[in-house]
Every structure is written in C-alpha cells, then in structure tokens.
Amino acid sequence: MTHVQSMLDAHPLGAGSIDKAKLDECIQACFECAQTCTACADACLSEEMVAELTQCIRTSLDCVDICVATGKILSRHIGDTADLTRAVLQACRTACKACADACGQHASMHRHCEVCAEACRRCEQACADLLTSLAE
C-alpha cells in the first residue's frame, strides 16, 4: 500500500463517490510527472544544443507547476468541488499532452526527453481516467 492510499483510507470523510483507485493513481502520476519534468528540464539545460531546447524546457516547467497543483488539489478531500476537480484535471491533461509532444520531438536524441514524454502520457491518461469516473 502506498502512502497516498493510506491517506485516502485514513481520511475521516473518505473519498466520497470518487473511485479511490483512480484517484490514487492520478495523484501518484501527477507527482511522478512533476519530478520527471523537473529532471528533464534540468537535463535539457545541460545539453550542448540548449538553445534548441528552449520550448521543451518551458513546456516541461509549465507541466511541473500544473502537475504539482493538480496533485495537491486531488490530495485534499474532494467534497463538493467537482467542477474545480474537473477543471484542474483537464488543465493537467492539456499540459501533459503539450509536454509529451514537445519532448517527443527530441526523444530519439535525448533519453531524458523520451522518459519525460512517457511520464507525461501516463499522467495524461490517469487524469483522463479519473475525469471519466467523475462523469459516471
């Protein structure tokens, strides 16, 4: 059991009607994506062709900020904030797709961009899965 699962189980109000497994997966994917994007941006800054990676770096850093915010918001009791939850999940999906696309352009030359694109796609999918479960 992860700490995320333990905290979801320990909350006195529970997770309500939200699919706890999908919520857990999404929170974990958000924080993992934020870490991966941070590391990728740093690695891009260490590349000799750093000027060509400027957009990739910016997109990665935008993704970090949105993933952290989404993970934090999802970690709090959802309660009656379904509209806010949907909005942050959609924003996170959008940021992750943009970052995956940007890093994907460099994945064949830079392993860190390949890893980052994979993490972004996983997070994008986790957000989509949680969004779908909220609609049910």
Q: Which residues contact 37 (CB under 8 A, 6 or more apart)?
A: 60, 61, 63, 64, 67, 99, 116, 119, 120
Average pLDDT of the segment spanning 15-44:
92
Which tens digit of pLDDT belongs to each residue from 12-23? 566 667 888 999
Domains in the chain: boundaries: 19-135
pTM of the model: 0.91
pLDDT at 76: 84
**Which tens digit of pLDDT belongs to each residue from 87-119?**
999 999 999 999 999 999 999 999 999 999 999
Asked whether 70 and 91 are in contact (CB, 8 A), the reply is yes
Fold of 19-135: Substrate Binding Domain Of Dnak; Chain:A; Domain 2 (1.20.1270)
